[in-house]
Structure 1
Amino acid sequence: MKRHISLIGAPTDIGAGARGASMGPEAMRVANIQSILESHGLEVQDRGNLVGPSNPWQPPVDGYRHLPEVTAWNLAVHEAVHAELDQGRLPILLGGDHCLGLGSISAVARHCREKGKKLRILWLDAHADFNTSQLTPSGNIHGMPVACLCGLGPQQLIEIGGQVPAINPKWIRQIGIRSVDEGEKRLVHEQDLEVFDMRFIDEMGMRHTMELALATLDANTHLHVSFDVDFLDPDIAPGVGTTIPGGPTYREAQLCMEMIADTGLLASLDVMELNPALDVRNKTAQLAVDLIESLFGKSTLMRK
């Protein structure tokens, strides 16, 4: 069955602490994401870029930076992603900073409720993104989307998608985590999030990690991948605003993507936090597109 893909650009760094992620969608287009996916027999439509408020670059108010603007962007993302899912298409959200995962995943959760499907979310990231206004050291909302999705956040964000909480913490698997703020650690523990941090990956290997993260999926499961490019080791992916050493290697990342592809269940994707202003000759964008290609079935050999 031919798969129908929609690219949706969300060019904003509204939730981030560094400028530049707003240029991420264009960098992925420069890295030929559409033609590369089409070379695998996929039908791909580029919906262009969403429009939202510009970044006012203001200090936090009551623990949140740019809350009205973040809300506006996430509402736009929510509607765009939900519309593509409604048409039976697979949306790829080209970020933009990771605060937009809130709009995207709340749309996926809404779609799953409407269609009676189960949801599994793989959150590939160096950070847990489980901060609240009380815990955050910066007020940057790109550190809060998972908490907001789980109902911990300001009213206007947690209500996007029409149900609070938008997701059950049990539906999420976090992979590659290696930077979590002190108070955030306690909250992750209290909410019983399933986290495969880099120590787990070091000890058990990426294969075992992914077997656990993908366990119990069935044909009625919608698999969503939220891929923050800072998941990758900064040696191979320098073009992100929040580099944390010690991430997955190129081969570990490829294995992760190939095992997701093997399930045949990938139904929506976010690619977040690519920052061309901090990149070297677009190499991080090219790597991101290379990994996305693996998510859609690129492999060295014909697999039996």
Structure 2
Amino acid sequence: MHIRVIGAPIDLGADRRGVDIGPSAIRYAGLHEHLRTLGHTVSDFGNIHVPQPESQPTGDSKLKYLEPIVQVSEELANVVAETLRSEQFPLILGGDHSMALGSISGVTAVHKDVGVIWVDAHGDFNIEETTPSGNIHGMILSALAGQGHPSLVNIGGWSPKLNPENIVIVGARDLDPGEQALLRKHKVHVYTMSEVDRYGISDIMNRAITIAGRENHPIHLSLDMDSLDPREAPGVGTPVRGGLSYREAHLAMEMVNDSKRMVSMDVVEVNSILDRENATALLAVELILSALGKKIL
């Protein structure tokens, strides 16, 4: 497979600084060399341009940095779509999870029926009326499903990008009240950590792949590193205790690879300022390798 690495060092969607270093940290952790060892061809687009928060007005407190996030998302969507059309696999490195508005919009420009597996401690299904923080990284899935502010919803000039019933959230354990109601209303499939504990990650991922990939739909995998327990991934901006273990996360990635349905992947929320000896970026590389074919035997 020809993998094109695309950096999206956006830190406009969250309050805590540091995720803009994430793409560099993941590259520094040996991403390209390890992918080539697996037999993949790798090229690197570099980073798309992202303005610094200090150079931008915050804007509406319920939609912080809306305008620059929209601009970045439009650019990223174009790069991802062009990558897929050239028969390359886009591997997009964040950056906070607002990045996925651009990455998935680009995927859906090529694959209209894509399903999404969203591995995350959070639902990211807030809208302007429900958000407790105004941080847009918590509104991305809802926007992709056609809910929320028109500027977010209409990236690329069309909406919705995703059928909510083709979205599967895995590992959730921190959902806002208004967000919970929206997830139920729009019939998004949510597997919480309680369900991972009860049924096991293998059963949950089988369900996720079946739902997201039904009727032979391609799958986009969005991996937020805060889905893992903070003991495994300390360098994230919004850690929540009780997350996926090291082996659970690896098995989840291995199962997505085994499905042969994944057409694109993004990895987000590596915050190097909060990390210890680049541990979270090193783990991100390990999980990317599992998702792209590395096996124990």
Measured against the shorter chain, the TM-score band is over 0.9
Amino acid at match of 2:267: V
8 Å Cα contact 2:115/2:162 also seen in 1:
no
8 Å Cα contact 1:119/1:221 also seen in 2:
yes
Query: Aligned to 1:5, which of 3, 7, 10?
Result: 3
In the TM superposition, what is the alpha-carbon distance from 1:58 to its structure 2 partner?
5.2
When structure 1 is superposed on structure 2, of 211-220 and 124-133 the one drifting more is: 211-220
Which residue in the other structure is 2:38 paired with?
40
8 Å Cα contact 1:60/1:139 also seen in 2:
no
| Residues 10-51 of structure 1: CA deviation (Å, up to 9, x unaligned) | 112011110000000000011011111010000010111101
Which residue in the other structure is 1:144 paired with?
139
Amino acid at match of 1:72: Q
Matched, 1:205 2:200: yes
In the TM superposition, what is the alpha-carbon distance from 1:218 to its structure 2 partner?
6.6
What is the rounded CA distance, in whole Å, between the counterparts of 2:61 and 2:148 in structure 1?
12
8 Å Cα contact 1:261/1:297 also seen in 2:
yes
TM-score after normalising by structure 1:
0.94
| Residues 231-276 of structure 1: CA deviation (Å, up to 9, x unaligned) | 1110010000000000010011111011111112221001011100
Which residue in the other structure is 1:244 paired with?
240
In the TM superposition, what is the alpha-carbon distance from 1:76 to its structure 2 partner?
1.3
8 Å Cα contact 2:23/2:95 also seen in 1:
yes
8 Å Cα contact 1:150/1:165 also seen in 2:
yes
Tell me the secondary structure at the aligned position of residue 32 of structure 2.
helix
In the TM superposition, what is the alpha-carbon distance from 1:60 to its structure 2 partner?
5.2
Size of the aligned set, in residue pairs, is 295
Tell me the secondary structure at the aligned position of residue 8 of structure 1.
strand
Where structure 2 has 5 or more consecutive residues not aligned to the other structure, the ranges are: none
Where structure 1 has 5 or more consecutive residues not aligned to the other structure, the ranges are: none
Query: Aligned to 2:155, which of 160, 165, 188?
Result: 160
Matched, 1:26 2:21: no
8 Å Cα contact 1:65/1:141 also seen in 2:
yes
Runs of 4+ displaced beyond 4 Å: 57-60
Query: Aligned to 1:295, which of 284, 291, 294?
Result: 291
Mapping of 1:221-236 within 5 angstroms?
Answer: 221-236=217-232
What is the rounded CA distance, in whole Å, between the counterparts of 2:37 and 2:203 in structure 1?
31
Mapping of 1:48-87 within 5 angstroms?
Answer: 48-56=46-54, 59=58, 61=60, 63-87=62-86
What is the rounded CA distance, in whole Å, between the counterparts of 2:170 and 2:249 in structure 1?
11
What is the rounded CA distance, in whole Å, between the counterparts of 1:24 and 1:52 in structure 2?
13
When structure 1 is superposed on structure 2, of 30-39 and 219-228 the one drifting more is: 219-228
8 Å Cα contact 2:10/2:99 also seen in 1:
no
TM-score after normalising by structure 2:
0.96
What is the rounded CA distance, in whole Å, between the counterparts of 2:134 and 2:62 in structure 1?
5
Tell me the secondary structure at the aligned position of residue 246 of structure 1.
coil
In the TM superposition, what is the alpha-carbon distance from 1:53 to its structure 2 partner?
2.0
8 Å Cα contact 1:53/1:72 also seen in 2:
no
Tell me the secondary structure at the aligned position of residue 171 of structure 2.
strand
Which residue in the other structure is 1:91 paired with?
90
8 Å Cα contact 1:225/1:266 also seen in 2:
yes
Which residue in the other structure is 2:263 paired with?
267
What is the rounded CA distance, in whole Å, between the counterparts of 1:16 and 1:165 in structure 2?
24
What is the rounded CA distance, in whole Å, between the counterparts of 1:15 and 1:152 in structure 2?
17
| Residues 147-180 of structure 1: CA deviation (Å, up to 9, x unaligned) | 1001112212111133211111011110000000
What percent of counterpart residues are identical? 41
Matched, 1:187 2:179: no
Q: CA RMSD in A?
A: 1.4
Which residue in the other structure is 1:123 paired with?
118
8 Å Cα contact 1:201/1:209 also seen in 2:
yes
Mapping of 1:276-295 within 5 angstroms?
Answer: 276-295=272-291
